[in-house]
Amino acid sequence: MLYLVGDLQGCDDALERLLSLIDFSPSRARLVVLGDLVNRGPGSLAVLRRLRGFGDAATCLLGNHDLHLLAVAHGARTLHRGDTFGEVLADADRQSHLEWLRTRPLACEAAGWLCVHAGVVPQWNAHDTLALADEVSAMLRGPGLPDFLHAMYCDTPTRWAPDLHGLERWRFVVNVLTRIRFCSPEGELDLKTKEGSAAARPGFMPWFEVPGRRSAGQPVACGHWSTLGLVQRPDLLAIDTGCVWGGALTAVRVDGGRRELVQVPCAGHLQPGP
């Protein structure tokens, strides 16, 4: 059994109930968690401990909140008022948690699904996406991590070019895989608009609606966009259903040619918002 799981954001209580509902066991099932494991909810440390304990049975992608935790830990950012991962930073196993987190992938393939946290630009197909994700993951695992984290928080470059290199190349890849919602047909990113799909600025559209995108026909699973809501199409699963905002935690079983939606309500730790 293979389940894709939406944004957790530190909601360990909801994760525990979801795992109980699907009768999850690492010996007979597998999870792909689509990023944003931590932050905003009250149980970031518990989420990390639980997922780490599953070993290879849980593939956990990096989301923007997970990278934010790494950036704070390396002095590249300061804690925001709403950050709730202080217990991770204060834990006796802090370094072990951070080392595990930095080695998580930015994308993967599972049962025919291209899995990312946020999305892809129109110029990338599945092969491009996985190759670029692997390139950045190799950098995150190496000595270049601190320098990158200090340069990560910038919205430029706004368009992909194959000759991008170094920090600009890696930053663009990270911005796409962990932050994209809207882009233009030419692949220009709008990283400011965070509302639902109807809020697109003129000339922009949800990344998955761009005509002729090179990933068309490739099933893609993503999270990140709680204001979009649940989207289930043959070629798209968008399953950030706003658990931390009082929505639900969503998982979808995708193995064996079947699709089974499983949701548990979340107590909600924040008021609805972007």
Gap between the Cα atoms of 149 and 70, Å rounded: 8
Q: What is the mean pLDDT of residues 264-271?
A: 74
Res. 124: pLDDT tops 90: yes
Q: What is the mean pLDDT of residues 95-116?
A: 98
Read off the pLDDT band of 143 (50, 70, 90).
very high
CB burial readout 108-117, b (16+ within 10 A) else e: bebbebbbbb
Res. 257: pLDDT tops 90: no
- Which is nearest to 244 in space by CA: 21, 44, 34, 66? 44
Res. 271: pLDDT tops 60: no
Q: What pLDDT, on the 0 to 100 scale, is given for residue 270? A: 59
| Percent of the chain scoring above 70 in pLDDT | 97
* SS (HEC) of 17-58: HHHHHCCCCCCCCEEEECCCCCCCCCCHHHHHHHHHHCHHHE
Residues 59 and 108 sit within 8 Å (Cβ to Cβ)? yes
Chain centre to alpha carbon of residue 144:
22
3-state helix, strand, coil in the chain (%, to 5): 35, 15, 50
Structural element, H or E, at residue 105: none
Res. 88: pLDDT tops 80: yes
| All domains of the chain in start order, with CATH | 2-265 (3.60.21.10)
